[in-house]
């Protein structure tokens, strides 16, 4: 096994696919936290909502419509959350934010139970992505390659917007110092709102792409919450690079840990988290300044 | 141009300003002097909408000033904070463009601020936090000028700077004064402030305790000693 290059390639692809899924989910949370200093534990519930919306839309119009519409629908839920809770609680401090958004997880969880029921739902992998592809000499499911490519496209798109555009400069300025950004004529509140909605849409997108791999069930929001928090704590609570780094570390440690030391696989990632918190409590890639 | 009338303000429950009355005239430089904790920076933060006005009024060009900082900035007031607040994630160029692209079309362009501070031209692709304290102050002033303001508000522009940089900043602000740019300047450096200012108010315990011209405060040793510790 150890000398089989194909085995390592396969595991690396698995790790990359898991990393990209976690990246899609965590990037929204890191940008929201970086810009708004708001701890939104309900972000995982938006991921679950994305999967449920996708299940409903895919049943009527197919997967591609779900991929397009579910993130928009989750962004719509984000608008309601922002107007109802987030905007009012921005100055309330982290403890109140954690308590309220933790409560929101259960509210959203029960709402999905009321609307979609307790039984897990399934989404078919679209026919176009149903086969296998030869990647670096190994046969790998096309759908998983699609997740990797989608993650890289979103990463590239966000890197371009954040790094090369005026709106990206405004977001980075707002993350660095929202008061000074406002003194330069930037409507930081409106910027917060837009970023929050984009973050919600990305959580919804993660839910859609995860749905064909996992069963869509009410508790998927709780299952994903801890890995997402670990990703952003490892990476550092700020913008893109840290979210990517955290997601890659998580994906590779989790995947290779399960293969190389299966007895320790359930504790390896927590050991990594503890090590980061002890050695570098601000994360491996903390914000500048 | 800018008038504070009986303004009370502070941080949360802690009141710092008690009936502050200040008037800045167009085309003139007003210096606000006082000891540490007297309420100078609080006055500027209240003007900029960063602290709420609990009572009293602030008017700009005869109309009540906007409530939110970004509306105040759009009305023509640019702010150079004591901490400079350069955005560390942005390069020098991006810091400048953030202002120039939002407030373009006026007399101040990136080329012109680089003429004013040539050092910035050599550092355009450096990150904001790679600059020295003096360069950060130049960038903060340049960024404010790119907003093409009608009133420039500066909080302690010489704080922590080497004497040679203090002189450079002084000369550049003097140039701006000669061009007729209205300024409100908070400063601990008595000589710096009174050589730039036309009008001076001295603040103590959150209210104005003395007002007059720069020449008058230079000649008033008692006020200097009592309220400024000079």
Contact A288 B127 (CB under 8 A): yes
Sort out which chain B residues have CB atoms less than 8 A from A166's CB and list them.
97-98, 101
User: Quick one: tokens of A11?
Assistant: 């595991």
> B130 in contact with A at a CB cutoff of 8 Å?
no
Q: How far is the alpha carbon of B143 from chain A, nearest alpha carbon, in Å?
A: 9
Q: Where are the domains of chain B?
A: 2-76+151-228, 90-149
Structural domain that includes position A263: 5-279
User: Quick one: tokens of A185?
Assistant: 């004529």
Of B49, B69, B94, the CB nearest to A169: B94
Identify whether the C-beta of residue B72 lies closer than 8 Å to the C-beta of residue B86. no
Task: Please report the pLDDT score of residue B74 as a whole number.
Answer: 94
Contact B98 A187 (CB under 8 A): no
Q: Which of A100, A102, A111, A103 is nearest to A77 (CA)?
A: A111
Three-state SS annotation for A113-180: HHHHCCCCECCCCCHHHCCEEEECCEEEEHHHHHHHHHHHHHHHHHHHHHHHCHHHHHHHHHHHCHHH
Q: Which of B80, B94, B154 is nearest to B128 (CA)?
A: B94
Contact B89 A173 (CB under 8 A): yes
**How many interface pairs between A and B have CB atoms less than 8 angstroms apart?**
75
Sort out which chain A residues have CB atoms less than 8 A from B81's CB and list them.
180, 183
* CA distances (Å), origin B205, targets A32, A67, A89, A175, B57: 40, 61, 34, 34, 19
Q: How far is the alpha carbon of B75 from chain A, nearest alpha carbon, in Å?
A: 9
Rounded Cα–Cα distance for residues A140 and B215 (Å): 82
In a domain, A284, yes or no: no
Sort out which chain A residues have CB atoms less than 8 A from B87's CB and list them.
172-173, 176-177, 180-181, 289
Stated pTM of the model: 0.85
Contact B70 A183 (CB under 8 A): yes
Rounded Cα–Cα distance for residues B152 and B181 (Å): 7
Sort out which chain A residues have CB atoms less than 8 A from B145's CB and list them.
none
Contact A239 B129 (CB under 8 A): no
Rounded Cα–Cα distance for residues A98 and A38 (Å): 9
User: Quick one: tokens of A165?
Assistant: 């555009």
CATH of the domain at A266: 1.10.3470
Contact A184 B89 (CB under 8 A): no
Q: How far is the alpha carbon of A256 from chain B, nearest alpha carbon, in Å?
A: 34
Identify whether the C-beta of residue A286 lies closer than 8 Å to the C-beta of residue A236. yes
Separation of CA A14 from chain center: 17
> B74 in contact with A at a CB cutoff of 8 Å?
yes
Angle at A125 between CA A124 and CA A131, to 5 degrees: 135
Chain B: residue nearest A188 by CA? B70
Q: How far is the alpha carbon of B88 from chain A, nearest alpha carbon, in Å?
A: 6
Rounded Cα–Cα distance for residues A208 and A47 (Å): 8
In a domain, A289, yes or no: no
How do residues A198-227 score in pLDDT, each as one tens digit? Answer: 989 999 999 999 999 988 988 888 888 888
> B128 in contact with A at a CB cutoff of 8 Å?
yes
Sort out which chain A residues have CB atoms less than 8 A from B94's CB and list them.
169, 172
In a domain, A287, yes or no: no
Contact A166 B101 (CB under 8 A): yes
Tell the CATH superfamily of the B2-76+151-228 domain: P-loop containing nucleotide triphosphate hydrolases (3.40.50.300)
- pLDDT less than 70: residues of chain A: 1-2, 236-239, 242, 282-289
Rounded Cα–Cα distance for residues B66 and B88 (Å): 28
Chain A: residue nearest B48 by CA? A183
> B101 in contact with A at a CB cutoff of 8 Å?
yes
Rounded Cα–Cα distance for residues B145 and A18 (Å): 48
Of A175, A184, A287, the CB nearest to B73: A184
pLDDT tens, residue order, chain B (230 aa) = 899 999 999 998 888 889 999 999 999 999 999 988 889 999 999 999 999 999 999 999 989 999 899 999 999 999 999 999 999 989 999 999 999 988 877 889 999 999 999 999 999 999 888 898 999 999 999 999 999 999 999 999 998 888 999 999 999 999 999 999 999 999 988 889 999 999 999 998 889 999 989 888 888 887 877 777 76
Contact B98 A170 (CB under 8 A): yes
Rounded Cα–Cα distance for residues A16 and A144 (Å): 9
> B170 in contact with A at a CB cutoff of 8 Å?
no
Q: Which of B9, B19, B18, B21 is nearest to B54 (CA)?
A: B9
Say how many domains are in chain A.
1
Sort out which chain A residues have CB atoms less than 8 A from B99's CB and list them.
184-185
Task: Please report the pLDDT score of residue A283 as a whole number.
Answer: 67
> B103 in contact with A at a CB cutoff of 8 Å?
yes
Task: Please report the pLDDT score of residue A287 as a whole number.
Answer: 56
Rounded Cα–Cα distance for residues A8 and B98 (Å): 46
Contact A289 B89 (CB under 8 A): yes
Three-state SS annotation for B126-177: CEHHHCCHHHHHHHHHHHHHCCCCCEEEEECCCCCCCHHHHHHHHHHHHHHH
Please count the other Cβ atoms lying within 10 Å of the Cβ belonging to residue A227.
19
User: Quick one: tokens of A254?
Assistant: 């989790």
Identify whether the C-beta of residue B78 lies closer than 8 Å to the C-beta of residue B125. no
Identify whether the C-beta of residue A112 lies closer than 8 Å to the C-beta of residue A95. no
Q: How far is the alpha carbon of A226 from chain B, nearest alpha carbon, in Å?
A: 29
């Amino acid at each position: 096994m150890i000398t089989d290059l194909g085995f390592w390639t396969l595991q690396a692809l698995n790790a990359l696919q898991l990393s990209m899924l976690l990246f899609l989910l965590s990037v929204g949370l890191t940008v929201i936290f970086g810009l708004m200093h708001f701890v939104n534990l309900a972000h995982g519930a938006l991921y679950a909502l994305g999967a449920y919306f996708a299940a409903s839309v895919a049943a009527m119009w197919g997967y591609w419509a779900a991929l397009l519409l579910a993130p928009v629908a989750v962004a719509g839920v984000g608008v309601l959350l922002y107007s109802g809770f987030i905007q009012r609680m921005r100055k309330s401090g982290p403890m109140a934010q954690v308590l309220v958004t933790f409560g929101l997880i259960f509210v959203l969880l029960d709402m999905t139970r009321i609307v979609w029921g307790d039984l897990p739902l399934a989404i078919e992998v679209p026919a176009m992505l149903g086969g296998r592809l030869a990647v670096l000499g190994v046969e790998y499911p096309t759908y998983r390659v699609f997740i990797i490519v989608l993650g890289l496209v979103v990463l590239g798109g966000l890197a371009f917007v954040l790094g090369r555009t005026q709106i990206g400069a405004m977001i980075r300025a707002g993350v660095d110092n929202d008061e000074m950004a406002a003194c330069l004529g930037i409507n930081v509140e409106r910027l917060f709102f837009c970023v929050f909605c984009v973050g919600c849409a990305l959580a919804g997108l993660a839910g859609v792409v995860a749905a064909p791999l996992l069963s869509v069930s009410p508790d998927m929001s709780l299952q994903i919450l801890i890995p997402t928090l670990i990703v952003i704590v490892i990476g550092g609570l700020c913008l893109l690079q840290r979210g990517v780094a955290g997601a890659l570390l998580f994906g590779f440690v989790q995947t290779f840990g399960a293969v190389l030391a299966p007895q320790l696989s359930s504790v390896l990632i927590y050991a990594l988290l503890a090590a980061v918190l002890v050695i570098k409590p601000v994360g491996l890639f903390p914000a500048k300044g | 141009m800018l008038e504070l009338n009986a303004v009370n303000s502070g941080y949360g429950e802690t009141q710092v300003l008690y009936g502050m009355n200040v008037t800045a005239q167009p085309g003139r430089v007003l210096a606000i002097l006082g000891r540490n904790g007297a309420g100078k920076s609080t006055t500027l933060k209240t003007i900029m909408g960063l602290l709420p006005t609990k009572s009293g009024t602030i008017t700009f060009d005869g109309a009540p000033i906007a409530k939110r900082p970004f509306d105040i900035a759009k009305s023509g007031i640019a702010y150079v904070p004591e901490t400079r607040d350069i955005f560390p994630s942005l390069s020098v160029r991006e810091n400048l463009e953030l202002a120039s692209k939002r407030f373009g079309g006026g007399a101040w362009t990136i080329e012109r601020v680089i003429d004013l501070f040539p050092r910035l031209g050599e550092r355009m692709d450096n990150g904001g936090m790679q600059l020295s304290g003096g360069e950060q102050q130049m960038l903060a002033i340049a960024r404010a000028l790119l907003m093409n303001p009608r009133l420039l508000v500066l909080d302690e522009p010489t704080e922590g700077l080497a004497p040679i940089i203090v002189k450079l900043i002084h000369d550049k602000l003097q140039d701006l004064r000669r061009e007729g740019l209205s300024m409100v300047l908070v400063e601990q450096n008595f000589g710096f402030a009174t050589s730039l200012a036309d009008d001076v108010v001295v603040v103590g315990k959150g209210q104005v305790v003395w007002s007059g011209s720069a020449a008058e405060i230079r000649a008033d040793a008692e006020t200097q000693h009592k309220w400024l510790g000079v």
